[in-house]
Amino acid sequence: MAVTKLLSRWGAWLFLGPVIAVAAVLPEERADNMYHAYSGGGVTIDGPSVLIRKNLGNNVSLSANYYVDMISGASIDVEATASEYTEQRDEFSLGADYLVDKTTISMGYTNSSENDYEAQTIAFAISQGFFGDLSTIGLRVSYGSDDVFRNGDENFAEEAQHRRYALSWNQILTQKLIAELSVETVADEGFLNNPYRSVRYLDEASGSGFSYQAEVYPTTRNSDAVALRAKYRLPYRAAIKGEYRRYADSWGVVADNVEFRYIHPWKERDEWVLEGKIRYYQQSSADFYSDLFPYLNATNFRARDKELSNYTTLALGFGISYELPKRWSVLKQRNTINLYWDHILFDYEDFLDVTVHGADTLISPGDEPAYSFSANVIRLFWSARF
């Protein structure tokens, strides 16, 4: 469940990528068919996704997206207390954009379903261009309602709510430079942890020197983030994108994210587009996180989720897009084949690898090596623009 929740947040960004919008125009009409795959940390996730976007006249754009995650394996933080599993998450999204003069109004609905988690989100956004379309201000709000269950326990049923508010300012600074400043605040309430995950604590009576008990999280979480993005066009038609994002929440997690992308059209008609990416992420641990608690019920709140620990990631990515000749294109429209690959290195500072323990292990609890792993993310999709 934890991995699928993570990828549901990534899904749209993996598929479409971050953009900087600066003018009041309807989104491009398109149809995308994608296969995505993630492999790393003992977990494999893959599946298809289909996106269709169609305009009705000059003022309305409708979209629909179907996204599937098929999961198998078990991450290390649940491997010690649970067996491998398989499950599937299905996500459906509907959206509409209405353009009037320099104002764009957007609405969306998303439903995500798996055997132990149901999530529904509604969203509303409005953007307004002014100063001759050199500036655009946007406001986005969303509300999510989740139902959480636990397989094998018919009496377990919890709820969670998520409220997001975001404000952005896009500015054309020069003929070659576009920048965006955005701020976002999120309020989460309800059951916010994974019902299957446990923390460990010192227990001399245990053969390994430690035992496990269930995690306990606060029922509220407030977070704020600010991001600065920029896109600069180089003299030879290539472009550089940069982003810095700062995040902090009421659980004590503070994170920094820095990313750079280089996009390079190739050949006379720009039928080939190459892209390179590097991304660095670093965060501090939550106040109630510990890899090893001193005893049973040591604190009121306790977590051993590695995503709440001190850790860093380094992602290196490469992408290539090829525009098909019209004789090969569906409906003789603009068709592209796109392949994106990311290699991500995860290094955890205070999340330790308990799988080193065995019958002949002489390692004391707390002396295990820090955990690290690498993952690969692949997105292959065909896109037709009308």
Q: What is the per-residue pLDDT across 168-193, written as a single tens digit (0 to 9) for each?
A: 999 999 999 999 999 999 999 999 99
Res. 13: pLDDT tops 70? no
**Percent of the chain topping pLDDT 90:** 77
Name which of 2-6, 136-140, 200-204 the model is least confident about.
Answer: 2-6
Residue 359's pLDDT is 60
pLDDT in tens, 75-132: 887 777 767 778 999 999 999 999 998 999 999 999 999 999 999 999 999 999 988 8
pLDDT at 215: 96
Q: What is the DSSP string of 54-95?
A: EEETTTEEEEEEEEEEEEEE--HHHHTTS--EEEEEEEEEEE
pLDDT average, residue stretch 234-254: 95
CA nearest 287: which of 266, 275, 302?
A: 302
Options 1.20.1630, 2.40.390, 3.40.1000, 2.40.160; CATH of 2-385: 2.40.160
The DSSP element (H or E) to which 7 belongs, if any, is: helix 2-16
For residue 231 the two structure tokens come to 């896109």
β partners of residue 282: 256, 312
Task: Record the tokens describing residue 232, joined without a space.
Answer: 């600069």
Residue 277 has pLDDT above 60, yes or no: yes
Residues 368, 353 contacting (CB under 8 angstroms): yes
**Stretch 54-68: mean pLDDT, rounded?**
96
First-to-last CA distance in the chain? 37
Does position 159 have pLDDT exceeding 70, yes or no?
A: yes
Strands (DSSP E) contained in the chain are 30-40, 43-56, 60-73, 85-100, 103-114, 117-130, 135-150, 153-172, 177-190, 198-202, 210-214, 220-233, 239-249, 254-266, 272-283, 311-323, 334-352, 370-385
Angstrom distance (rounded) from CA 323 to CA 334 = 7
Task: Tell whether the model's pLDDT for residue 271 goes beyond 50.
Answer: yes
To the nearest 10°, report the CA torsion of 103, 245, 177, 315: -120
Selected residue with higher pLDDT from 377 and 323: 377
Q: Given its phi and psi angles, is residue 141 left (phi above 0), alpha (psi -120 to 50 degrees) or beta?
A: beta
Q: What value does the CA radius of gyration of the chain take, rounded to a whole number of Å?
A: 23
Residue ranges covered by each domain of the chain:
2-385
Q: Does residue 351 register a pLDDT over 70?
A: yes
**Measured between alpha carbons, how far is residue 226 from residues 145, 180, 255 in Å?**
24, 11, 11
Mean pLDDT of the chain: 90
Nearest to 344 by CA among 2, 41, 8: 41
Report pLDDT for 21: 47
Q: What percent of the chain has pLDDT over 70?
A: 92
pLDDT of residue 160: 98
Q: Does 18 score more than 80 pLDDT?
A: no
> Which residues, 6 or more positions from 43, have their beta carbon under 8 angstroms from its beta carbon?
3, 71, 72, 73, 74, 75
pLDDT confidence of 71, banded at 50, 70, 90? very high
How far is Cα 25 from Cα 106, in angstroms, rounded to an integer? 12
pLDDT over threshold 80, residue 338: yes
324 pLDDT band, cuts 50/70/90, is: confident
Most confidently modeled of 3-7, 27-31, 196-200, 341-345?
341-345
Q: Give the pLDDT band (50/70/90) at residue 12.
A: very low
User: Does the pLDDT at position 340 exceed 80?
Assistant: yes
**Shortest CA distance to 167 belongs to which of 152, 177, 154, 180?**
180
For residue 296, the Cα-to-chain-centroid distance in whole angstroms is: 34
